[in-house]
Amino acid sequence: MIRNVVGSVLALAGATAAVWSPFRAWYDGRHGSDYPIGDLFTGITDDKADVLGSILLPFAFAALVTLLGVVLRSRLLVALAGVIVLGFTVLWMVRVGQAEGSLVISGNGRGLGDGVANAFGGGVLILLGALVMSGRHRTHRLRPAAPPPTHPTLDGPPPAGAPYGTGDQRGAG
């Protein structure tokens, strides 16, 4: 139980960081919510996107999958959400690297910003949460249940509707 609680908190904290990340600077001071989702597949442009048409969309979807995985205690769904966040973050980094020629990490506001760090860290936290969670416990049977008897047994009363015998059914007689 403790593992599920700790894993859930880690996963939900990661999902929060991932959803928050597009509202932070991603590259050269440009916020992640300015990048259209289509640019991830066609190449980064200077076009601006609506908030719901930006890279916030896959992160919001991943947060929803995380929430569903936590409610259902499904390690697989939580891990899938972490892979979605990390996948879109890495895809964005590859596309920006192609458009700019290289990726720069700089402390003066040029280069990769803290939004990328939030997204990457959020994806790692979601995966860590999936690792920590114990998931649902399933009962495993070693052998299948025995079928019900086809004739009355000698250990109990006769089945309903069966005629009562005149002799002792236990063999004393």
Mean of all residue pLDDT scores within the chain: 85
Per the model's pLDDT, the better-predicted residue between 62 and 108 turns out to be: 62
Instruction: Look up tokens 């009355």; give the residue.
Output: 152
**Is the residue at 115 inside a domain?**
yes
**Is the residue at 148 inside a domain?**
no
Give me the residues paired with residue 31 across strands: 25
**Structural domain count, the chain:** 1
Q: What three-state secondary structure class fits 158?
A: coil
**Is the residue at 105 inside a domain?**
yes
The torsion angles phi and psi of 73, rounded to 5 degrees, stand at: 55, 45
Residue 134 has pLDDT above 70, yes or no: yes
pLDDT digits (tens, 9 = 90+) for 12-69: 999 999 999 999 999 888 899 999 999 888 888 888 888 888 999 999 999 999 999 9
With left for phi above 0 and alpha for psi between -120 and 50, is residue 71 left, alpha or beta?
A: alpha
When pLDDT is cut at 50, 70 and 90, the band that residue 159 belongs to is: low
**Is the residue at 150 inside a domain?**
no
Q: Which domain holds residue 89?
A: 2-132
pLDDT digits (tens, 9 = 90+) for 69-89: 999 999 999 999 999 999 999
